[in-house]
A and B are shown apart, each in its own frame.
Chain A
Amino acid sequence: MGAGPAGAAAALTAARAGASVVLLERGPFPGSKNVYGGVVYGRVLDEVLPRWWEEVPVQRWVTRRSTMVLTETQALTVDFRTVAWGEAPYNGCTTFRSDFDSWLAGKAVEAGAQLVTSTVATGLIREGGTVVGVRTDRPDGDLRAKVVIAADGVNSFLAKELGLLPSTDAAHLTLGVKEVLSLPREVIDERFGVRGDEGVDVEILGCTRGIPGGGFVYTNKETVSVGVVVSLEHLTAAKVRPEELIADLKAHPAIAPWVRGAEVKEYAAHLIPEGGYDHFPTLHADGLLVAGDAAGMCLAAGIWLEGVNFAIGSGLAAGRAAAAAAQTGADLASYRKDLESTFVLQDHKRLRKAPGLVLSPRVQGQYPGLIADLVEGMFTVTNPTPKPGVVRLLRAAANKHGVKLRHLAVDALAGGRTFR
């Protein structure tokens, strides 16, 4: 259910394994309704679609990745670029979901899956606790199946229907909003210092008025995506409209020169599951598997925002497990074991503490200012007063932002443990 990356990947492996597969999508074509920031890390496709990079509908290959810390008036950027990411097998690419999802679903159709669009799955058909199909909004719309894969994205109604997900879970959801801004290609090349197919991925901390979250800027061929991802609960409590945060970001002295004169082409918003490993639902039930965002598999840990690759990874595994179950009656529990042996659960497990740490009040509210002040102090030439030492600057900055050095040590240790 759902022709996003998870559903299309599941349909691809299941159809290749010889199962009879229907891929149901509510939109008029795959990806038509889907929203994300902009970068897909495609290496997950190496095994199933060798040389995928030759045909993936790419906007730009990310060869430059910057991590930015902002305060209202300051910006500190760690900027990395490498030629290697601009050559096969590449690292990440910016791509539009309408193109990418259509392409991936097309691969599933080539493998033998049947794609039915403009059709909403409205519920599960159950017999004695076992899922035996789905209901859809079409006339005569019941579809019986040996296995149903819920790949219907965040806030999955199918997983909720079985009680695998809580009915509301604002604490583990963030809201992502973005604008797509149109600029001529040469202007983007010039402003971002890239050429040809090269693109830039900028992840930003400290740009959300203290609401836990972060921001991003990605370059496409002739557009730039600018957005923020913020905690749903804190956004509500702060009574701030998300578009105000994007407006702030676009007006920031470090960002404004990039987007000056650009025309807004699109505005979009979407939820992101951000609970991580500790909040995954049960991944299977009798006759049902849950994959991708429906299972909360988006890795949203501050400077990482990877959902599509995790959706594909879990989808591929779900397709394999479903085909085995349909053909040989294998146990669907093999799905979780399979996931545990891949990056999907291993990365999530390793980074399970990352969302908590990156979204913690100190990292969000105090450290951006502290770091920016420290760097400003280091590089401000105060003659005739002699240069202050770094330790003195650090103390002063920590004091100003209400951070005890003890906190710094604790968080550094926690960071070391989380990202080890």
Chain B
Amino acid sequence: MLIVALLRCTDLRAEVDPLTGAVSRDPRTASLSAADAAALEHALRIADTWGGRVLALTAGGPEADGPLREALALGAEVRRVPLHSSYIEELAVDERSLAKLVVSALGENRPDLVLCADRSADRGTGALPAFVAHELGVVQAPGLVALQVEGDQLVAERRLDFGRRERMRVPLPAVCSVEGAGVRLRRASLPASLAAANATIPLVDVALPASPVRVVQARPTRPRPRHLPAPTGTSRERLLALTGALLSHEPPTVVGPVGAAEAADALLDFLVRHGYLSEARTGWAVP
């Protein structure tokens, strides 16, 4: 069984120039987002249970090698499709050709399961998993907050609106994209980290397929300047307006100590009373 963890390694604390919108990324702080880390952990857990092998695959520059070595130390095989580009160039890559690229990098190795983050931390369209599923011709389960093996079944849980959850069985082969929730990436042992410390990451040289999307221009987003009228009134009046200091307002209410159900009712009641929630939408009866 082959489980592919499709990872994106990027600087999670990139700097954005407030004036020009230019993004500068530090390759040394490239790492997996919580969702990417969760995808890898799920891959390792499922492989542990079903006796499969895990391939951690990423398309990116050499900054991805650090996180890939960590995956190597955790027992995964690793590959990198070299892709060097600036943040803007990356944004301009259309997800469909990226999906084609990673699938062609897999070659003959058709995966039984592909795990990836629901959306990348820095691009964030969330479209890649669907395109990968399409390229592989397999089903897709997006937005998962839990994923586990139950017997010979893979059972996933998805977050729906209004706090509801959906539980579903995922038939293989499939692409599952997960949120950074529920699991934490295990730490590699010291001997494995030492063994992986200087490992060379194998590269798969496949070219980015031509994209049907034509990029006309790519530049940092720069919010349009907005005309803000000069404030009126004295500074005291403005402070009062901002803080609402002298307005009458409902004093803080302490309810309790009460049980969890009663506390939840009290909170919902408050929200409904103040117009944040309508009774009809919650579907809960408010006493």
B 93-113 binary contact with A (CB < 8 Å = 1; else 0): 000000000000000000000
Inter-chain contacts of A139 with B (CB < 8 A): 186-190
Inter-chain contacts of A32 with B (CB < 8 A): 28-29
Q: Distance (Å) between the CB of B26 and the closest chain A CB? A: 8
Q: With A114-B197, A114-B198, A116-B197 known to touch, is A28 a contact of B31 (CB < 8 Å)? A: yes
Closest to B186 in A: A139
How many Å lie between the Cα of A115 and that of B198 in the bound state? 8
Residue from the list A22, A109, A142 in contact with B194, Cβ < 8 A: A22
Q: With A28-B29, A29-B28, A32-B28 known to touch, is A138 a contact of B189 (CB < 8 Å)? A: yes
Inter-chain contacts of A142 with B (CB < 8 A): 190
Contact between A138 and B29, CB atoms less than 8 A apart = no
Inter-chain contacts of A140 with B (CB < 8 A): 189-191
Residue from the list B28, B29, B186, B193 in contact with A116, Cβ < 8 A: B193
Number of A-B residue pairs having CB atoms within 8 Å of each other in the complex: 41
Closest to A109 in B: B198
B 174-217 binary contact with A (CB < 8 Å = 1; else 0): 00000000000011111101100110000000000000000000
Q: Distance (Å) between the CB of A106 and the closest chain B CB? A: 11
Counting CB contacts under 8 A, is A174 at the interface?
A: no
Contact between B188 and A138, CB atoms less than 8 A apart = yes
Contact between B194 and A116, CB atoms less than 8 A apart = yes
Q: Distance (Å) between the CB of A26 and the closest chain B CB? A: 13
A 126-144 binary contact with B (CB < 8 Å = 1; else 0): 0000000000111111110
How many Å lie between the Cα of A28 and that of B193 in the bound state? 13
Task: For the complex, count residues of B whose C-beta is within 8 A of A.
Answer: 14
Contact between A136 and B28, CB atoms less than 8 A apart = no
Listed residue (A22, A136, A139) with the most chain B CB atoms within 10 angstroms of its CB: A139
Interface positions of A from 107 to 123, Cβ below 8 Å from B: 109, 114-116, 119
Counting CB contacts under 8 A, is A102 at the interface?
A: yes
Contact between B28 and A98, CB atoms less than 8 A apart = yes
Contact between B190 and A138, CB atoms less than 8 A apart = yes
Closest to B31 in A: A28
Q: Distance (Å) between the CB of B258 and the closest chain A CB? A: 40
Q: Distance (Å) between the CB of A49 and the closest chain B CB? A: 21
Q: Distance (Å) between the CB of B87 and the closest chain A CB? A: 20
Contact between B28 and A114, CB atoms less than 8 A apart = no
How many Å lie between the Cα of A22 and that of B197 in the bound state? 10
Closest to A117 in B: B66
Inter-chain contacts of B29 with A (CB < 8 A): 28-29, 32
How many Å lie between the Cα of A316 and that of B197 in the bound state? 23
Q: With A114-B197, A115-B197 known to touch, is A143 a contact of B190 (CB < 8 Å)? A: yes
How many Å lie between the Cα of A140 and that of B188 in the bound state? 9
Contact between B193 and A138, CB atoms less than 8 A apart = yes
Contact between B31 and A116, CB atoms less than 8 A apart = no
Contact between A102 and B190, CB atoms less than 8 A apart = no
How many Å lie between the Cα of A139 and that of B191 in the bound state? 9
Inter-chain contacts of A116 with B (CB < 8 A): 190, 193-194, 197
How many Å lie between the Cα of A98 and that of B31 in the bound state? 16
Closest to A24 in B: B190
Q: Distance (Å) between the CB of B91 and the closest chain A CB? A: 25
Q: With A138-B187, A138-B188 known to touch, is A119 a contact of B28 (CB < 8 Å)? A: no
Inter-chain contacts of B191 with A (CB < 8 A): 140
Inter-chain contacts of B197 with A (CB < 8 A): 114-116
Inter-chain contacts of B193 with A (CB < 8 A): 116, 119, 138
Contact between B190 and A119, CB atoms less than 8 A apart = yes
How many Å lie between the Cα of A163 and that of B96 in the bound state? 61
Listed residue (B28, B66, B189, B198) with the most chain A CB atoms within 10 angstroms of its CB: B28
How many Å lie between the Cα of A102 and that of B63 in the bound state? 14
Q: Distance (Å) between the CB of A391 and the closest chain B CB? A: 53
How many Å lie between the Cα of A98 and that of B13 in the bound state? 15
Inter-chain contacts of A29 with B (CB < 8 A): 28-29, 66
Contact between A141 and B31, CB atoms less than 8 A apart = no
How many Å lie between the Cα of A98 and that of B27 in the bound state? 12
Closest to A98 in B: B28
Inter-chain contacts of A138 with B (CB < 8 A): 187-190, 193
Residue from the list A22, A28, A141 in contact with B189, Cβ < 8 A: A141
How many Å lie between the Cα of A48 and that of B233 in the bound state? 68
Contact between B190 and A136, CB atoms less than 8 A apart = yes
How many Å lie between the Cα of A115 and that of B189 in the bound state? 15
How many Å lie between the Cα of A57 and that of B151 in the bound state? 55
How many Å lie between the Cα of A137 and that of B189 in the bound state? 9
Q: Distance (Å) between the CB of B134 and the closest chain A CB? A: 35
How many Å lie between the Cα of A282 and that of B187 in the bound state? 35
Inter-chain contacts of A28 with B (CB < 8 A): 28-29, 31
Inter-chain contacts of A102 with B (CB < 8 A): 28
Q: Distance (Å) between the CB of A262 and the closest chain B CB? A: 14
How many Å lie between the Cα of A109 and that of B69 in the bound state? 16
Closest to A114 in B: B197
How many Å lie between the Cα of A139 and that of B189 in the bound state? 5
How many Å lie between the Cα of A312 and that of B188 in the bound state? 31
Q: Distance (Å) between the CB of B72 and the closest chain A CB? A: 13
Closest to A263 in B: B18
A 10-45 binary contact with B (CB < 8 Å = 1; else 0): 000000000000100000110010000000000000
Interface positions of A from 255 to 270, Cβ below 8 Å from B: none
Q: Distance (Å) between the CB of A117 and the closest chain B CB? A: 8
Q: Distance (Å) between the CB of A220 and the closest chain B CB? A: 15
Q: Distance (Å) between the CB of A140 and the closest chain B CB? A: 4
Q: Distance (Å) between the CB of B276 and the closest chain A CB? A: 36
A 251-285 binary contact with B (CB < 8 Å = 1; else 0): 00000000000000000000000000000000000
Closest to A31 in B: B28
How many Å lie between the Cα of A32 and that of B30 in the bound state? 13
Inter-chain contacts of B198 with A (CB < 8 A): 109, 114
Listed residue (B66, B186, B188, B190) with the most chain A CB atoms within 10 angstroms of its CB: B190
Inter-chain contacts of A115 with B (CB < 8 A): 197
Which 8 A-B pairs have CB atoms at the shortest separation, nearest pair first?
A140-B189, A138-B190, A139-B189, A141-B190, A29-B28, A114-B197, A116-B193, A136-B190
5 A-B pairs besides A137-B187, A139-B187, A141-B189 with CB distance below 8 A are: A22-B194, A29-B66, A109-B198, A115-B197, A139-B188
Could you name 13 residue pairs across A and B whose Cβ atoms are closer than 8 Å? A22-B194, A28-B31, A29-B28, A29-B66, A32-B28, A109-B198, A114-B194, A114-B197, A116-B190, A116-B194, A138-B189, A140-B189, A140-B191
The interface of chain B, by Cβ under 8 A from chain A, is 28-29, 31, 66, 186-191, 193-194, 197-198
